[in-house]
């Protein structure tokens, strides 16, 4: 089957057998592009791909299967290694210290080293496509006001030219077929502080190819977020398509708008929620634990007020769990404490499902009020909107479970 859907490996690794099963099923069902990155699961996403290639094809990659990886982020074990290194090396690699948990680099030396590690983890001699992963981290670190923007963008484009020259060199050496950029900034308004002026990229690629001695530039691909709520990237997609570039879209079901997150997927109301809630409240009332009883009651009243499930999860870990732990310590009887602990775990699992359901209802209502006709499910509406767009070549979707693979391929039909 011909499909625009591609297998995204963010949060996909070796620890969960279901991830491997999902990737195997996706490839057997006709998905022909896998998107990954050096920093996904500390390199385990690439290792998982190699494991599946070994299992399905004896370690060989079929010609019609494309693997796209990315470099730029410095996280996990690599970040710890970099932090222990000499400050002169950090300066030599033009490393951007974005935060304590995330550094970034697109320096030629860094790209060369990261591509070597990617090929080793993937067990390949040549990679189909390598993308610079959000190079705008330089802009996000350097630009504080509008006055900083012009100079920072010029420096950013110089950095990209140097990176393109390294990538053209890797093509010449036979370690790479083509390259491109994955950037969230492609989906910003042109006057945004961190906008990456993409119309200059083809000129930079041609210059890089000339400097390296390649006849043609090998800049082939751009990637960016586009979905029902983030449509700004469609302008960039149209430009790319008109200039012969391939367009990969990420975050088709996870939207960001007005500093809020939205999950573009329909959720079913949990059938057990109220029975689990009432059983827990009844038991708490029996043991006269008014503190936890009142907390659970307040949570029930608040279930429709979360913007998205991630907001609830943060609230749970930072506010609720510490309080619950303290209150459980005040229960003297160990057996009662264990019973309540298990009931609370069951409640929070059901409550999270209820939050997802409430959020999906709010998202559907918001879309319909904005003129979007929602079909049977939010995900069907969101994906079909992208599938029908001629400027989009591939839609990257997280498929960490076999049920996701089946459901998503069913949408495309």
With CA atoms as reference, report the closest residue to 109 among 91, 121, 126, 122.
91
Q: How confident is the model at residue 226 (pLDDT cuts 50, 70, 90)?
A: very high
Q: What phi and psi values does residue 269 have, to the nearest 5 degrees?
A: -70, 130
Query: Is residue 18 within 8 Å of residue 402, measured between CB atoms?
Result: yes
Q: Judging by DSSP bridges, how do beta strands 96-99 and 102-104 pair with one another?
A: antiparallel
Share of the chain above pLDDT 70, in %: 100
Q: How confident is the model at residue 375 (pLDDT cuts 50, 70, 90)?
A: confident
**Residues 348 and 399 both lie in one domain:** no
Mean pLDDT computed over 218-242: 96
Query: Is residue 248 within 8 Å of residue 68, measured between CB atoms?
Result: yes
**Residues 146 and 53 both lie in one domain:** yes
Total domain count for the chain? 2
**Residues 253 and 326 both lie in one domain:** no
Tens digits of residue pLDDT in 343-353: 999 999 999 99
The pLDDT, as a whole number, for residue 126 is 97
Mean pLDDT computed over 196-209: 96
Q: How confident is the model at residue 307 (pLDDT cuts 50, 70, 90)?
A: confident
**Residues 190 and 61 both lie in one domain:** yes
Mean pLDDT computed over 143-151: 90
**Residues 160 and 261 both lie in one domain:** yes
CATH of the domain at 247: 3.20.20.100
State the residue range of the domain holding 214. Answer: 5-265+376-412
Tens digits of residue pLDDT in 22-49: 999 999 999 999 999 999 999 999 999 9
The pLDDT, as a whole number, for residue 357 is 95
Place of tokens 């790479």: 176
Tens digits of residue pLDDT in 241-262: 999 999 999 999 999 888 788 8
**Residues 112 and 211 both lie in one domain:** yes
**Residues 111 and 66 both lie in one domain:** yes
Helix, strand, coil: what percent of the chain each, to 5?
55, 15, 30
Is 1's pLDDT higher than 70? no
C-alpha to C-alpha distance for 141 and 99, rounded to whole angstroms: 9
Query: Is residue 23 within 8 Å of residue 7, measured between CB atoms?
Result: yes
CA dihedral sign, ordered 13, 14, 19, 24: positive
Tens digits of residue pLDDT in 6-23: 999 999 999 999 999 999
CA dihedral sign, ordered 233, 234, 237, 243: negative
**Residues 365 and 382 both lie in one domain:** no
Q: How confident is the model at residue 186 (pLDDT cuts 50, 70, 90)?
A: very high
C-alpha to C-alpha distance for 99 and 230, rounded to whole angstroms: 26
**Residues 348 and 394 both lie in one domain:** no
C-alpha to C-alpha distance for 246 and 285, rounded to whole angstroms: 61
The pLDDT, as a whole number, for residue 88 is 83
With CA atoms as reference, report the closest residue to 354 among 231, 270, 286, 233.
270
The pLDDT, as a whole number, for residue 383 is 95
Q: Judging by DSSP bridges, how do beta strands 127-133 and 219-225 pair with one another?
A: unpaired
- Give the C-alpha distances (Å, rounded to integers) separating 346 from 112, 283, 287: 49, 14, 18
Q: How confident is the model at residue 152 (pLDDT cuts 50, 70, 90)?
A: very high
Query: Is residue 249 within 8 Å of residue 242, measured between CB atoms?
Result: no
Return mean pLDDT, the chain.
Answer: 94
Q: Which residues contact 150 (CB under 8 A, 6 or more apart)?
A: none
* Choice between 260 and 224, residue whose per-residue pLDDT is larger: 224
**Residues 365 and 380 both lie in one domain:** no
Query: Is residue 34 within 8 Å of residue 6, measured between CB atoms?
Result: yes
Mean pLDDT computed over 268-273: 93
Q: How confident is the model at residue 300 (pLDDT cuts 50, 70, 90)?
A: very high
Q: 299 is written with which tokens? A: 């949570």
Is 384's pLDDT higher than 70? yes
Q: How confident is the model at residue 282 (pLDDT cuts 50, 70, 90)?
A: very high
With CA atoms as reference, report the closest residue to 263 among 375, 120, 360.
360
**Residues 321 and 396 both lie in one domain:** no
Tens digits of residue pLDDT in 66-116: 999 999 999 999 999 998 887 888 888 889 999 999 999 999 999 999 999
Q: 181 is written with which tokens? A: 């950029």
Q: How confident is the model at residue 232 (pLDDT cuts 50, 70, 90)?
A: very high
In three-state secondary structure terms, 290 is helix
The pLDDT, as a whole number, for residue 413 is 66
Q: What is the DSSP letter of 65?
A: -
Q: What phi and psi values does residue 8 have, to the nearest 5 degrees?
A: -90, 135
**Residues 24 and 173 both lie in one domain:** yes
What is 89-142 written as a DSSP string?
A: HHHHTT-EEEETTEEE---HHHHHHHHHHHHHHHT-SSEEEEEEE-TTHHHHHH
């Amino acid at each position: 089957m011909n499909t625009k859907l591609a297998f995204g490996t963010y949060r996909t690794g070796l620890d969960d057998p279901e991830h491997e099963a999902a990737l195997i099923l996706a490839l057997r069902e006709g998905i022909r592009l896998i998107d990954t990155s050096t920093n996904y699961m500390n390199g385990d996403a690439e290792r998982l791909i190699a494991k599946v290639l070994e299992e399905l094809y004896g370690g060989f990659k079929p010609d019609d299967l494309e693997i796209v990886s990315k470099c730029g982020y410095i996280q996990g074990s690599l970040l710890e290694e970099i932090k222990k290194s000499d400050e002169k090396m950090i300066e030599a690699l033009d490393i951007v210290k974005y935060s304590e948990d995330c550094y970034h680099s697109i320096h030629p030396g860094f790209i060369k080293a990261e591509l070597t590690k990617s090929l080793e983890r993937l067990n390949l001699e040549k990679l189909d496509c390598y993308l610079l992963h959000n190079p705008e981290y330089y802009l996000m670190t350097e630009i504080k006001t509008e006055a900083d923007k012009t100079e920072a963008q010029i420096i950013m484009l110089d950095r990209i030219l140097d990176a393109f020259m390294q990538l053209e060199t890797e093509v010449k050496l036979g370690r790479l077929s083509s390259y491109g950029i994955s950037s969230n900034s492609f989906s910003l308004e042109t006057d945004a502080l961190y906008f990456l002026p993409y119309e200059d990229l083809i000129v930079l690629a041609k210059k890089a190819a000339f400097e390296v001695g390649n006849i043609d530039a090998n800049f082939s691909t751009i990637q960016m977020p586009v979905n029902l709520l983030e449509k700004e990237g469609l302008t960039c997609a149209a430009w790319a398509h008109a200039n012969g570039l391939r367009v990969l879209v990420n975050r088709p079901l996870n939207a960001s708008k007005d500093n809020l997150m939205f999950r573009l997927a329909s959720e079913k109301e949990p059938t057990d929620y109220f029975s689990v809630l009432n059983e827990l409240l009844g038991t708490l009332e029996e043991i006269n634990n008014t503190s936890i009883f009142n907390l659970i009651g307040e949570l029930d009243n608040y279930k429709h007020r979360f913007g998205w499930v991630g907001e609830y999860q943060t609230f749970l870990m930072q506010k609720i769990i510490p309080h619950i732990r303290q209150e459980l310590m005040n229960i003297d009887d160990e057996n009662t404490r264990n019973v309540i602990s298990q009931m609370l775990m069951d409640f929070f699992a059901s409550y999270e499902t209820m939050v997802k359901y409430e959020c999906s209802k709010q998202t559907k209502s918001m879309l319909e009020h904005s003129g979007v006709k929602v079909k049977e499910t939010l995900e069907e509406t969101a994906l079909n909107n992208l599938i029908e767009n001629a400027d989009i070549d591939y839609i990257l979707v997280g498929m960490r479970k076999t049920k996701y693979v089946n459901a998503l391929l069913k949408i495309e039909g």
